[in-house]
Amino acid sequence: MIAFNKRLFAALVGLSLAACANAAGDAPANLKADIQKKFPNRPIESVRTTPLKGIYEVVMEGRQIIYTDNRGDFILVGDLVDVKNKVSLTESRMKELTRVDFASLPLDKALKLVRGTGARKVAVFSDPDCPFCKKIERETIAKLDNVTVYTFLYPLAQLHPDAARKSALIWCAADRQKAWQGWMFEGKLPEGSDSCPNPVADTVALADKLGINGTPAMVFESGELVSGAIPLEEFEAKLSAKKTK
């Protein structure tokens, strides 16, 4: 039995319909409502045409992209691929949907680290008990220069029950950045209280609004949102990317 590969399936659908890849016009007026009735617990954010006639892109709550026919009777889940240009249209659309206005971030609610000129900027959503957050701190952020790093303390309570307390302890420290690095590099928490006013709850709400559900997650000045501990070379390239207007 051949294993089902959702990405390959979506690509093959694109190939089979390539002859119809002309402008499809507007999506049917009732399509969004029809799909919403079939998925009552998943708010539909948008419906729009694709390059394939009769196939429509649907964005559901949580920035999930699916594809459907003009009645919402059939659903495709996977990448829609532009074979000629070797580009995943789904991936490109996801980057567009997750783009963040860096200037809108509440940077006063983040730890701040400045190296060199501090000219390049990045915001990092990080959990003090996340091993990949420690990895990116030690192997990537520690090696950057001419950068300002804003760290939003984002404890993932379900995975790390003590992370919220540690986040509060770090925020309440006299030198927050020193306390953060002391924990991430040496495993030493600051002494003192964890009961001072802190923005941890606000950060959790912000992450939810931006569609961030894991750590580390980085927002670059270009507006690109990236999840995971990416290599130093890739991090540097994204730091230097042009802002998207």
Query: pLDDT digit string (tens) for 167-210?
Result: 999 999 999 999 999 999 999 999 988 889 999 999 999 999 89
CATH of the domain at 202: 3.40.30.10
Q: Looking at the domain assignment, is residue 57 inside a domain?
A: yes
Co-location of 109 and 48 in the same domain? no
Co-location of 88 and 201 in the same domain? no
Co-location of 65 and 83 in the same domain? yes
Q: Which of 74, 97, 120 is a domain's end point?
A: 97
Q: Looking at the domain assignment, is residue 244 inside a domain?
A: no
Number of structural domains in the chain: 2
The whole-angstrom separation of Cα 188 and Cα 193 is 15
Q: Looking at the domain assignment, is residue 1 inside a domain?
A: no
Q: Looking at the domain assignment, is residue 245 inside a domain?
A: no
- Listed as own residue / partner, the contacts of 60-66 with beta carbons closer than 8 Å and 24 or more positions apart are 62/211, 63/94, 63/97, 63/98, 63/211, 65/90, 65/93, 65/94, 65/97
83-108 confidence digits (pLDDT tens): 988 989 988 888 888 789 999 999 99
208-218 confidence digits (pLDDT tens): 989 898 999 99
Co-location of 181 and 212 in the same domain? yes
* Residue 141 lies in domain: 102-239
Give the SS3 label for residue 1. Answer: coil
pLDDT at 25: 56
The answer to whether 191 and 208 are in contact (CB under 8 A) is no
Q: Which of 37, 67, 97 is a domain's end point?
A: 97
Co-location of 79 and 164 in the same domain? no
> Of 164, 169, 177, which is closest to residue 111 (Cα–Cα)?
177
The whole-angstrom separation of Cα 18 and Cα 211 is 33
Q: Which of 58, 77, 97 is a domain's end point?
A: 97
Co-location of 115 and 227 in the same domain? yes
Mean pLDDT, to the nearest integer, of 51-65? 89
Co-location of 67 and 179 in the same domain? no
Co-location of 109 and 225 in the same domain? yes
Co-location of 132 and 218 in the same domain? yes
* Residue 160 pLDDT > 70: yes
